[in-house]
């Protein structure tokens, strides 16, 4: 769903088992773009995605936010009372705990991907198993929906990023945009406070701050910031980033891209 929204329904998709493989595919030109999740309103940040953004020389060129609605999808003709196990990504399984409490006879089984779990159930024509995924997957793979809207919370959204080998700044005159940066600070009192001051003084909206440990440097951290600006404010954001760069050990702009219309 995210790939179709970010690209088009005709985009040729290359499934990857691990997030690392998505970044490697784009880096080595096996794929033109990568679509990766970065945060969910229930589960929080996907930390591995942030680490991989830093480790690879790729750029964020777009984002989208998908409303997550889970369904139980089975092979054609299978009834829910026949199902003994349900396959899905661990996060999707965790978001449907109420369903498993209502059906204690059904075992949850982790799989690497929600859509991949549906594909497995349908292709292998499993009669005692089903999968949890979006209802659209039932249409794609020819399965039956055995239970719908089983997620614990209706306000369940996941934010996805589109990454590429080259930056693609928003067109001139476009609407609001988001800039994502990552930086490292010296370990000194008040360093984080001073790092945020350039944005506060210029009225730049910070929508997210995330800290991640630096591998090989115990108790040292990288900070990720999402900055939102309106039309014509690019120069102000750039000025604030340059001021932060002068007081940082290192700083990198991961991308400037249009703010998702679904951004909450």
What CATH number labels 71-155?
3.40.190.10
Q: What global pTM score does this model have?
A: 0.87
Pair 141, 48: CB distance under 8 Å: no
Q: Helix 191-201 crosses helix 234-247 at what angle (to 10 degrees)? A: 160
- pLDDT higher than 60, residue 264: no
- The reported pLDDT for the residue numbered 263 is 59
- The reported pLDDT for the residue numbered 125 is 97
Provide the 10 A C-beta neighbour count for residue 209.
12
pLDDT digits (tens, 9 = 90+) for 129-140: 999 999 989 999
Which residue intervals of the chain bear CATH 3.40.190.10? 71-155
Which of the pair, 175 or 141, is modelled with greater confidence? 141
Question: For residues 167 and 214, what is the distance between their CA atoms, to the nearest angstrom?
Answer: 25
Helical H segments across the chain, by residue range: 2-6, 19-27, 47-55, 90-94, 97-102, 114-123, 136-141, 191-201, 234-247
- pLDDT higher than 90, residue 15: no
pLDDT digits (tens, 9 = 90+) for 144-194: 999 999 999 999 999 999 999 999 877 766 689 999 999 999 989 999 999
- The reported pLDDT for the residue numbered 247 is 94
3-state SS string for 190-202: CHHHHHHHHHHHC
Give the pLDDT band of residue 91 (cuts 50, 70, 90). Answer: confident
Rounded to the nearest integer, the mean pLDDT of the chain is 93
User: How large is the average pLDDT for residues 63-87?
Assistant: 97
The residue with tokens 């199902």 is: 83
- The dihedral built from the CA positions of residue 90, 95, 100 and 106, taken in this order, carries a sign that is negative
Which residue intervals of the chain bear CATH 3.30.70.260? 169-264
User: How large is the average pLDDT for residues 231-259?
Assistant: 94
Pair 23, 163: CB distance under 8 Å: yes
Residues recognised as catalytic: 158, 160
Sheet holding 250-258, edge to edge: 205-214, 217-229, 177-184, 250-258
Three-class SS state of 110: strand
CATH 3.30.420.40 fits 169-264, yes or no: no
Sequence-distant (≥ 6) Cβ neighbours of residue 203 within 8 angstroms: 236
Give the pLDDT band of residue 249 (cuts 50, 70, 90). Answer: very high
- The reported pLDDT for the residue numbered 50 is 96
The residue with tokens 């290192």 is: 250
Beta bridge partners of 211: 223
- pLDDT higher than 80, residue 228: yes
- The reported pLDDT for the residue numbered 172 is 67
User: How large is the average pLDDT for residues 52-63?
Assistant: 97
Percent of the chain with pLDDT over 90: 83
Pair 146, 72: CB distance under 8 Å: yes
**Beta strands per DSSP E along 142-216:** 144-147, 157-164, 177-184, 205-214
pLDDT digits (tens, 9 = 90+) for 191-219: 999 999 999 999 999 999 999 999 888 88
């Amino acid at each position: 769903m995210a790939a179709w929204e970010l690209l088009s329904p005709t985009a040729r998709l290359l499934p990857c088992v691990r997030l690392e493989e998505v970044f490697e595919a784009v880096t080595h030109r096996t794929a033109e773009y990568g679509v990766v999740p970065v945060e969910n309103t229930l589960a929080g940040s996907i930390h591995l995605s942030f680490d991989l953004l830093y480790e690879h020389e790729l750029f964020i060129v777009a984002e989208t936010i998908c409303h997550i609605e889970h369904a139980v999808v089975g092979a054609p003709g299978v009834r829910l009372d026949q199902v003994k196990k349900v396959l899905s990504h661990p996060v999707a399984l965790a978001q449907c705990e109420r369903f498993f409490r209502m059906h204690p006879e059904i075992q949850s089984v982790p799989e690497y991907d929600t859509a991949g779990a549906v594909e497995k159930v349908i292709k292998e024509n499993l009669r005692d198993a089903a999968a949890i995924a979006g209802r659209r997957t039932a249409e794609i793979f020819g399965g039956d929906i055995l239970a719908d809207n089983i997620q614990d919370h209706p306000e369940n959204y996941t934010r996805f990023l589109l990454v590429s080998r080259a930056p693609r700044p928003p067109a001139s005159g476009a609407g609001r945009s988001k800039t994502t940066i990552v930086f490292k600070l010296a370990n000194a009192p008040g360093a984080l406070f001073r790092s945020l001051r350039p944005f506060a003084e210029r009225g730049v909206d910070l929508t997210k701050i995330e800290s991640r440990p630096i591998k090989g440097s115990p108790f040292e951290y990288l900070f990720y910031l999402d900055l939102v600006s309106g039309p014509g404010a690019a120069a102000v954001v750039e000025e604030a980033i340059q001021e932060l760069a002068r007081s940082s050990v290192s700083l990198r702009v991961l991308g400037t891209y249009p703010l998702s219309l679904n951004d909450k």
